[in-house]
Structure 1
Amino acid sequence: MRKTWSEAVSGAATLSGRTQWNDLTDLLAETSFPRLDPAMGSLDRGVADVLISILGRHTRNTERVYYLVWEGYAGITTSYSASETVDASYGRKMHYLQGSLEDASSTEAAGFNGAPLWWVPEDGSWCMGNDIYARSVYVGGSGTCIQEIIDDPRVESYPVAPTHKVSAEDR
């Protein structure tokens, strides 16, 4: 069963948008449930489904969304490996496909396992992504869009400043 980070540390820490998983690992030894670290560079499908429902209300055209997957993932689908690439953060090559927002949780859009690393609608109304070495997902969008995500009890989320730097979480 998937647990939120705050459930994992059982209230022993105050979390914020700057909290990284490694900030919490010392506290995990004190909890009674089995330790299941969140996967790096991936997005839980349940969280993806919640984001699909919210982000769809903040996009003019849910039929034109670009999905990016890092070229270095083992088991990447043929549709991605045969697609064009773009250079992304830290010079990483990302394959991209275009589909509908609903496609985000499909195996084809995922490209391997989970959900694509980055989602970007053609209208640029928001963007969602994480780094291949990150355990957190970031969403940029209008204040209304971000507040709706923060207010949704199905996802654990915290606001960050536009200047917040996304960094690898295993330092």
Structure 2
Amino acid sequence: MTSKEGKQHVFSASGQRVTAFVPPGYERYVRVLNPIEIAPGLVVMWSEVVNRGGREASPWMQWDEVTVSYEAMPANNSQPDMGNPHPSLAKSLIRVLELDSSRYNFATWEGYAAEDGKSVIDFSPAHRGMVLYSGKVVDEKGTAIVPITDSGRVPMYWWPDDLHWCIGQDIYARSLIIGCDIATAGRILADPELDAYLIRETDTVLLEDF
């Protein structure tokens, strides 16, 4: 990725570290878990499921660990989507990141069905072809606009031209990783509508494809 000032931000070339998915050098990194939709417009957080199951939440918990007991499962055995952040999560991020009516950049995997974008670049570490988009996420009245790609998904990669922050993850993930400054991380972690956990730049990102 290249910032508006021309500064290169290079992903780790290989491996599963946080910086293979979000560029290195940010002051803080946060993992935000994709909520589970149990009915149209109604979501629950992983932390609620964890509490019902009598377990403790942790920054790198995986969905199969959260739902070890049948009693802990959400209604209708619903699960968090892979590679498709929920619109409620997107709206919360737009609010917490204090985004304005500027244009922002997005990317999503070219392999999703009906993904017809033409501008494609490879993202590390798996050299996945990612379709690039840009657009506004806040209208003239200050209302959040959830970005949607040609495939009908909310993109997993978001970043401003100056790369002040970056959101990303792999295509099978049930969570997002955010690189940002200390103040932004504090707002994300404190927001009650976000299931967010502080992680480290050197952490290993566990595979969620199962």
TM-score, normalising length from structure 2?
0.70
The alignment covers a number of residue pairs equal to 161
Letter aligned with residue 131 of structure 2: H
Kept in 2, the 8 Å contact 1:22–1:169? The answer is: no
Provide closer, same or farther for how the CA distance between residues 73 and 155 of structure 1 changes in structure 2, counting only shifts above 3 A.
same
Residue in structure 2 matched with residue 85 of structure 1 by the alignment? 120
Unaligned runs of 5+ in 1: none
Residues 1:106 and 2:147 are matched in the alignment: yes
Residues 1:44 and 2:86 are matched in the alignment: yes
CA distance in 2 between partners of 1:101 and 1:168 (Å): 29
Kept in 1, the 8 Å contact 2:122–2:128? The answer is: yes
Letter aligned with residue 17 of structure 1: P
Kept in 2, the 8 Å contact 1:70–1:132? The answer is: yes
Report the CA distance between 1:17 and its aligned residue: 1.4
- The C-alpha deviation readout for 1:51-81, integer Å capped at 9, x for no partner, is 0112135xxx7523210010000022x4xx2
Report the CA distance between 1:16 and its aligned residue: 1.8
Unaligned runs of 5+ in 2: 1-41, 139-143
TM-score, normalising length from structure 1?
0.84
Residue in structure 1 matched with residue 38 of structure 2 by the alignment? none
Residues 1:5 and 2:46 are matched in the alignment: yes
**Paired residues for 1:20-99 under 5 Å:** 20-27=62-69, 29-31=70-72, 33-56=75-98, 63-76=102-115, 78=116, 81-82=117-118, 84-89=119-124, 90-99=126-135
Report the CA distance between 1:34 and its aligned residue: 2.8
Letter aligned with residue 173 of structure 2: A
Residues 1:122 and 2:122 are matched in the alignment: no
- The C-alpha deviation readout for 1:143-169, integer Å capped at 9, x for no partner, is 110110110001111111111233321
Q: Secondary structure at the match of 1:13?
A: coil
Q: Secondary structure at the match of 1:2?
A: strand
Kept in 1, the 8 Å contact 2:135–2:147? The answer is: no
Provide closer, same or farther for how the CA distance between residues 104 and 165 of structure 1 changes in structure 2, counting only shifts above 3 A.
farther
Q: Secondary structure at the match of 1:94?
A: strand
Q: Which moved more, 1:92-101 or 1:29-38?
A: 29-38
Report the CA distance between 1:24 and its aligned residue: 1.6
Q: Secondary structure at the match of 1:48?
A: helix
Residue in structure 1 matched with residue 25 of structure 2 by the alignment? none
